[in-house]
Amino acid sequence: MNTLNNKIALVTGGGRGIGEACAVALAEAGADVAICSRSSGEIDAVAEKIRATGRRALAVVCDVTEADQVRRMAEELNSHFGVVEILVNNAGLGRSHRFIDHPDELWDQMLAVNLTSVYRVTKAFVPKMIEMRRGRVINIASVMSKIGGKYVAAYAAAKHGVLGLTRALAVELVGYNITVNAVCPGYVSTPMTDDNVANIVARTGMSEAEARMALEKLSPQNRLIEPEEVAAMVVMLAGDIGQGINGQAINIDGGAVMF
């Protein structure tokens, strides 16, 4: 159903996994979609999938941790693609380490990619939404924005920050008809989870199948979430039907976390 006709969306980290699924789903719902990542190969391929739906696509190389690059991306989109009304902050990175001897560089990287990038990109695109007096900001957080876990101090801290930023902006921007929400998946069947599986194998000696099963068992449904499930929620939040949902953190994890 073309519920997003004549709307323009941006998906950060749009080259694979959840970002790719969100970009294609938004296009299938009628939106023109810009996607960005640090390299062109993957986003060029996703842009072709978007165009195959009959919608316009723009692939932009941008490191969302760099303020100057984010500013230039906003200028390019506003000048050559259109004003973004739907912003999906999806770019993220998952790394783990025990807290004892935790590398400072890893801490800085996790906060830069998973939290500060959300701040920078939202800051760059919200002013135009305010001018239009409408918009949707959808932050891909994680159930780790609500709970803790071993060996993920930096990741959990960053995702908790995303949830705090989501709630603060939801209150601040509601008067401009802008909603801000977070989608909080559990483990999703993506390349990032493949990296997690490889890390478990390397550290524990488990087989790949055993490591993947260990992640699946974290869900009461004994499975990984599919990227398209996350994308479906994003499309709902982006459309008119989601206008009453604001400041929320919606779990998609098979019932593992119930708050």
In this prediction the pTM is: 0.95
Mean per-residue pLDDT of the chain: 95
Given pLDDT bands bounded at 50, 70 and 90, which one contains residue 199? confident
What is the mean pLDDT of the segment spanning 1-18? Answer: 92
What is the mean pLDDT of the segment spanning 161-168? Answer: 98
Instruction: Name the active-site residue from 119, 151, 155, 176.
Output: 155
Judged against a pLDDT cut of 60, whether residue 1 lies above it is answered with: no
pLDDT digits (tens, 9 = 90+) for 41-51: 999 999 999 99
Q: Is 155 a catalytic residue?
A: yes
> What is the 3 state secondary structure string of the chain?
CCCCCCCEEEEECCCCHHHHHHHHHHHHCCCEEEEEECCHHHHHHHHHHHHHCCCCEEEEECCCCCHHHHHHHHHHHHHHCCCCCEEEECCCCCCCECCCCCCHHHHHHHHHHHHHHHHHHHHHHHHHHHHHCCEEEEEECCHHHCCCCCCEHHHHHHHHHHHHHHHHHHHHHHHHCEEEEEEEECCECCHHHHHHHHHHHHHHCCCHHHHHHHHHCCCCCCCCECHHHHHHHHHHHHCHHHCCCCCCEEEECCCCCCC
pLDDT digits (tens, 9 = 90+) for 104-137: 999 999 999 999 999 999 999 999 999 999 999 9
